Amino acid sequence: MTDASSLPTRNPRSGASDYLMPVYNAAQVADVANALRQAQTDWAALSLQQRLAALAELIDAIDADRDALVQALSQDTGRQQESAMEVNGVQNTLRRWLATAPALMSHEAPRRSQVPSILIEQHRRPYVLAGVISPWNFPLMLSMIDAIPALAVGCAVMVKPSEATPRFVPVFQKTIARVPALSKVLGFVTGPGQTGEALIRNSDLICFTGSVRTGRRVCELAAQCFIPAHLELGGKDPAIVCADADIAQAARALAWGSMVNAGQSCQSIERCYVHRSIFAPFVAALQLEVSGLKSNFLEIDQGQIGPIIAGVQAPIVQRHLSQALSQGAKAVVGGQVREHHGGLWCEPTVLVDVTPEMAIMTEETFAAILPVMPFETEEEAVQLANSSIFGLSACVFSRDIERAKNIAAQLHAGAVSINDASLTAIVHDAAKQSFKASGLGGSRMGAPSLQRFYRQQAFMIKDGGADSPWWYPKATDSQIT
């Protein structure tokens, strides 16, 4: 555990370290955890409606602090549009659970067992303290996406956001404080990986969003602590554009799906396979769409493409780009990472003449770059799409929905968008799990999401018949002597 009580934080627009993040040490994390555990007893004793009423108040509290939240997130990430989207996204997540949780958590009536004379009552017992560890690409949204259903179920929640984007935390803590009931059961701690490890040691289950590398470590530690771990990790999402696709529609969708948040999303489209018969017109359409996107380096409220948020990603992006270009890839749009006043912006980039072995086609590239390559047959497209360690999500474009569904069924990915891209960023009411190295555990989205946060407890009540047939035969006086 680090002794440092604060860490300097880099500003993505200037490269300067202009913020000191408080670092919670192991003892401080344990203190926060203990206070949350104590408050959880009363929280869990509230009715679901009462807990949802507190979560509804958070929607209004966010409204009251909207400008401050968007500003803090913009300072954390160097982009403003997506910061506003994040704030709206958290409110929408709250509304979705307010609307759906009552039916999903409705009381199950006692029922007769198939075993005679036994009545079954099912109860849900929330984990006491859910730990959440989040990354920097959507700092607020990914801190709250699991916290909200956990709170609805009756857990207390302790969140550790990324050390790259901690500025929003004190602002959001003030927002949470506007809802006293919630402020006792929703706590934040800040710090680097060691703080995350302390959080795991003090939690009863862990929801982790981040890289595969850290996910493995989190999973190992969770195993040592004997707690469930739900892991949402990296991706290298493929797109397949069939010969009969609407080219203009596919190009627009993929420009968005690969470039939104400057390509710094887990579900960003990072590989595009296009049927050779439409390759040239598709690339032309994509080129047109992507060349219309502008960096936001002059004014944060202008343009669509923000800076590289995490400094550590910049050399990875540079390596992928320069290796691809030196091995024969061509940039039909963009192709460079540019420095402006200390910040680093990756130009919105479309690459052609790429090969499957290039790092840009195999490793996660957190930047606004879309490599495009042709395929001859759909079998080949499926094989290329599946040739990855990742299995987060994918998309397929075809005018023939049955054909698209047939391809989708062969893809090793937890969510497949059809005739749109990266829909998991928008559609949160469909259950999906990550395949391969992209994650482990229950679905964060859709109805099963809530099930991650409680254990089932069964009461098996014998309410009839004096003797049970599985008991030993009744002892008789003659047996005793």
Nearer to ligand NAD, 133 or 352 (CB): 133
CB atoms near residue 316 (< 10 Å): 17
Nearer to ligand NAD, 142 or 278 (CB): 142
Question: Following DSSP, what letter does each residue of 114-172 receive, concatenated?
Answer: SSTTEEEEEEEEE-SEEEEE--SSSTTHHHHTTHHHHHHHT-EEEEE--TTS-THHHHH
CA angle 460, 228, 186 (to 5 degrees): 95
The beta strand positions in 35-117, using DSSP E, are 111-112
* Contacts with ligand NAD, residue ranges (CB under 6 A): 133-137, 142, 160, 162-163, 192-193, 196-197, 209-211, 214, 217-218, 232-235, 266, 310, 364, 392, 439
Nearer to ligand NAD, 191 or 374 (CB): 191
* CA gap 374, 381 in Å, rounded: 9
CB of 396 to ligand NAD, least distance (A): 20
CB of 221 to ligand NAD, least distance (A): 6
CB-CB contact of 415 with 391 (8 Å) = no
CB of 211 to ligand NAD, least distance (A): 3
Nearer to ligand NAD, 214 or 422 (CB): 214
Which residue, judged by CB position, is nearest to ligand NAD in the bound state? Answer: 196
Catalytic residue among 207, 266, 272, 346: 266
Burial 389-418 (b: 16+ CB within 10 A, else e): ebbbbbbbbbeeeebbeebbeebebbbbbb
Catalytic residue among 82, 86, 163, 232: 232
* CA gap 212, 218 in Å, rounded: 10
CB of 135 to ligand NAD, least distance (A): 3
CB of 159 to ligand NAD, least distance (A): 9
| CA dihedral (338, 340, 345, 350) positive or negative | negative
Helices and strands (DSSP H and E) totals, the chain = 17, 22
* Residue 232 a catalytic site member: yes
CB of 2 to ligand NAD, least distance (A): 12
Residue that has been written with the tokens 């005793």 in this structure: 480
**Of 261, 433, 255, 266, the residue nearest 365 (C-alpha):** 266
Residue 456 φ/ψ, nearest 5 degrees: -85, 130
Nearer to ligand NAD, 213 or 294 (CB): 213
Active site residues: 232, 266
